[in-house]
Amino acid sequence: MGTIKDRYAIVGVGESERSRKSGTTPLHLALDAAHAAIKDAGLKPTDIDGFMNYNEGDSCTSHQLATYLGVRPKYVKDIQGGGASTEMLIADAVALIEAGQLNTVLIYRSMNGSSGTRVGRGYDPDMLQGALSGGSFVIPYGSASPSQWFGMYATRHMHETGITKEHLGHVCLSFYEHAQRNPKAFLHGKPLTMENYLATPDISSPFNIHDSCLELDEGNAIIVTSAEKAKDCTSKPVYIMGMAARQCHPHAHYWNDIDQVASDYVAEELYENAGVTPDDIDVASIYDCFSWVVMRQLEAYGFAKRGEVGDFVAEGNLKIGGKLPTNTAGGMLSEGYTHGMNNAIEIVRQLRHDYEGTDRQVEDCKIGICTGWAGPDIAGAMILRN
Amino acid sequence: MTQATTAYQKPIPLKDIDNAPYWDAADQHQLALQKCDDCHAYSQPPGPTCAKCGSGNVSWEQLGDDIKATVYSYVVSYRPFLPGFQDELPTIIALAQLDNVPEVKIMGNILNCQEKDLEIGMPIQMTWVDITEDRALLQWIPVTN
């Protein structure tokens, strides 16, 4: 996909209110997010001819959303997916626009992630034994929550690299600090100290509640179009320099190989497509379903060498003012959680310099990275510029 | 260690067309592993074909009942995410690397283990817990000298 460099852009972003109990349906939340993104782009709903979403059986369909926007679209697509799906669907949208099938695509993720289906509570055991590859070798042992699955990877990686619980705490503290600058962050007004972090009991080692993403009711939307069509929008376009949309972990049975993650494979292709190196990145959104997942990706995407990631975060490099300001709205640990899309929205806003004149703006940032992680086996990422 | 329980609440491993030989062996307190006749790689968990080379020429190797391993990684779980675990918290869930076949790792709980004694690399031994009249579950216990 190297040939797409700078020829496609994100021209609109928007979100609904976020809460623990929306009192409404994912369709309403999706409509709120879509209206906000369309307004942000300066478009009319009928300018959108493609609608896409990812869900885990917990959302409305693209067809429903288009219907209630008063649009008869050319194309709708609903995929089963979690983290990394934002990047995958943006890649699909670019491919369809490139093929001349569509002009402008709205991608959304809407969920009652707190009051409805809640991932962190674990999944139905009988469903999982059949659906998860090798499920019957995992579920009978009580392992049914992402905190337990990723914890197994984290414990081994921390053992090998010397990353400590306190290092994980620095990831949390950095993002919580950003949330204190973002009035719309769910944990705005709830700062975190290392003392409090370390005193909080684990849910599944090595993770406590602060290491885990918030589960909220929320809808997000992003609009993608060609650089040519972006000129018709009132927003400042953020151009896609490169993407690496999907890579599977080399093993079908990932419980037998917890040392590799898909991000290791995505990184090389991503930088090659975008024509930049990690040193060129000014601002980052790193998928943060758990604090450790950020650490492992910082290593995979070349921001710190293996064995040095702990020091990198302890030095404050993830904070605004650090070497790699990351998850500057608070991330999924403290702003909100839509399986990654809220982090993608934030990177767009940073690159547009929407926060100019405030302490939230990463000064003079030009190039940003946004990564997704759908478990160790699937990853996606994109590099954007203003 | 064998204990019969009358009302087992936890999920019972589902046997299917691909994994039945593994769980049938477990029910007899034995370990069986799937192996590829072409590339000679083990497949754990087992599948319809070899996950390393795609060959359909797979067979089962019997490894007996004296299985030693070390802890490759682990999670200590303080909340029950599945039925039946609420009475046995915290639950230790570990990935065991087999001594004789180090390329194979098998998940299980470590029973009779204090959290403070748990560490990566610690020696453990396979055991079987009878969970119903005709089913048994592979588990692990610390090796004691």
How is residue A74 annotated by DSSP? S
Closest partner residue to A155 (CB to CB) among B74, B84, B104 is: B74
Closest of A247, A230, A262, A232 to residue A385, by C-alpha:
A230
Q: Are B89 and B81 in contact (CB under 8 A)?
A: no
**A285 band by pLDDT with thresholds 50, 70 and 90:** very high
Residues of chain B with Cβ-Cβ distance to A255 below 8 Å are: 45, 95, 105, 107
Mean pLDDT score across all residues of chain B: 93
Average pLDDT for A111-118:
87
Q: Which residue has the higher pLDDT, A245 or B117?
A: B117
- Asked if the Cβ–Cβ distance from A251 to B95 is below 8 Å, we say no
pLDDT at A252: 52
Distance CA B78, CA A126 (A): 22
Tokens of A237: 């376009």
- Please check the confidence at residue B4 and state whether its pLDDT lies above 60: no
Q: State yes or no: is A287 an active-site residue.
A: yes
For residue A302, give Cα distances in angstroms to A106, A265, A279, A308, B11: 31, 12, 9, 11, 41
Q: Are B89 and B80 in contact (CB under 8 A)?
A: yes
Average pLDDT for B114-130:
97
Q: DSSP H helical segments within chain A, as ranges?
A: 26-41, 62-68, 85-98, 125-131, 146-161, 165-179, 194-199, 227-230, 263-274, 291-300, 309-314, 331-334, 341-352
pLDDT digits (tens, 9 = 90+) for A60-93: 999 999 999 999 999 999 999 888 999 999 999 9
pLDDT at B1: 47
Counting Cβ atoms within 10 Å, is residue B7 exposed (0-12), middle (13-18) or buried (19+)? Answer: exposed
**A250 band by pLDDT with thresholds 50, 70 and 90:** low
Which string of b and e fits B40-68 if b means at least 16 CB within 10 Å? ebbbbbbbebbbbeeeeebeeeebeeebe
Closest of B65, B89, B78, B81 to residue B139, by C-alpha:
B65
pLDDT at A20: 95
Mean pLDDT score across all residues of chain A: 94
Closest partner residue to A143 (CB to CB) among B93, B106, B137 is: B93
Residues 6+ apart with CB under 8 A from B124: B68, B69, B70, B71, B94, B96, B110, B140, B141, B142, B143
- Asked if the Cβ–Cβ distance from A253 to B44 is below 8 Å, we say yes
Residues of chain B with Cβ-Cβ distance to A139 below 8 Å are: 11, 13, 82
No. of helices (H) and no. of strands (E), chain A: 13, 11
Q: State yes or no: is A123 an active-site residue.
A: no
Closest partner residue to B73 (CB to CB) among A138, A142, A156 is: A156
pLDDT at A253: 59
Average pLDDT for B10-20:
93
**A272 band by pLDDT with thresholds 50, 70 and 90:** very high
Closest of A116, A107, A119 to residue A82, by C-alpha:
A119
pLDDT at A119: 67
pLDDT digits (tens, 9 = 90+) for B45-61: 999 999 889 999 999 99
Phi, psi (5° rounding) for residue A126?
-70, -40
Distance CA B30, CA A317 (A): 51
Counting Cβ atoms within 10 Å, is residue A251 exposed (0-12), middle (13-18) or buried (19+)? Answer: middle
Average pLDDT for A208-221:
96
Average pLDDT for A187-199:
98
ipTM for the assembly = 0.94
Distance CA B84, CA A137 (A): 17
Q: State the catalytic residue, choosing from A8, A197, A254, A287.
A: A287
Residues 6+ apart with CB under 8 A from A132: A138, A139
pLDDT digits (tens, 9 = 90+) for A330-376: 999 999 998 999 999 999 999 999 999 999 999 999 999 999 998 88
Distance CA A286, CA B142 (A): 38
**A1 band by pLDDT with thresholds 50, 70 and 90:** very low
Question: Minimum mean pLDDT among A35-39, A213-217, A233-237, A244-248: which range?
Answer: A244-248
Phi, psi (5° rounding) for residue B125?
-130, 145
- Please check the confidence at residue B2 and state whether its pLDDT lies above 90: no
**A255 band by pLDDT with thresholds 50, 70 and 90:** confident
Q: B91 to chain A: nearest residue by CA?
A: A142
Question: Minimum mean pLDDT among A157-171, A275-289, B2-16: which range?
Answer: B2-16
- Please check the confidence at residue A126 and state whether its pLDDT lies above 80: no
Identity of the residue numbered B27: D
- For the entire predicted model, the pTM comes to 0.95
Average pLDDT for B61-75:
97
Distance CA B103, CA B43 (A): 10
pLDDT digits (tens, 9 = 90+) for A223-237: 999 999 999 999 999
- Please check the confidence at residue A35 and state whether its pLDDT lies above 90: yes
pLDDT at A125: 66
- Asked if the Cβ–Cβ distance from A140 to B12 is below 8 Å, we say yes
Is B116 in CB contact (< 8 Å) with chain A?
Answer: no
Residues of chain A with Cβ-Cβ distance to B97 below 8 Å are: none
pLDDT at A120: 65
pLDDT at A3: 80
* 3-class secondary structure, A12: strand
pLDDT at B52: 87
- Asked if the Cβ–Cβ distance from B47 to A159 is below 8 Å, we say no
Closest of A284, A227, A273 to residue A10, by C-alpha:
A227
